[in-house]
Amino acid sequence: MTERFGHDALLSIATVDEGKPYVRIVNSYYENGAFYTVTHRLTNKMKHIAKNPVVAVCGEWFTGHGIGQNLGCVCDKRNEKLAQKLRAVFFEWYGSGHTDESDPNTCILRIQLTDGVLFQNGRKYEIDFAVDEAK
């Protein structure tokens, strides 16, 4: 997973609102069983996750499920270390005007993975992230 997604990688995130599915592509970064992205608290994806945090993700021969969580404002002291890492990972576009850190609604979304299927080198890997994290 780190080899495939431990850098700026495109990821599809699916949410459900009032029984209707929604999918969008975001820039993401994988680390220790979770995907991270910088987004805005007032987007539909964050509104959906606030109501129902269960999401599905898909990208580069990986599909899985997880729990979405708003970690709060990018500039929050609690997020300082993670925000520095994300700025470095997303350096190609982060400062281009797409992200406004002065806006308190600019936040970090963490998707803590629960399960997934990864295809690599002709092999299929079924991953239970809860079990793998306990190791």
The answer for 61, left when phi > 0, alpha when psi is -120 to 50, beta otherwise, is: left
pLDDT digits (tens, 9 = 90+) for 37-57: 999 999 999 999 999 999 999
**44 vs 13: CA distance, rounded Å:** 12
117 DSSP β-pair partners: 63, 126
pLDDT bracket for residue 132 (50, 70, 90): low
**68 vs 55: CA distance, rounded Å:** 7
Q: What superfamily does domain 2-134 belong to in CATH?
A: Electron Transport, Fmn-binding Protein; Chain A (2.30.110.10)
pLDDT bracket for residue 96 (50, 70, 90): confident
Quick one: which H or E segment has residue 55?
strand 54-59
Domain ranges of the chain: 2-134
C-alpha torsion sign, points 73, 111, 118, 132: positive
What tokens does 58 get?
A: 């898909």
pLDDT digits (tens, 9 = 90+) for 63-94: 999 999 999 999 999 999 999 999 999 999 99
Q: Are 104 and 5 in contact (CB under 8 A)?
A: no
Looking at residue 131, what is its pLDDT? Answer: 67
Looking at residue 135, what is its pLDDT? Answer: 42
Output the pTM of the full model. Answer: 0.93
120 DSSP β-pair partners: 123
Instruction: Quote the mean pLDDT of the chain.
Output: 95
What tokens does 11 get?
A: 């990821």
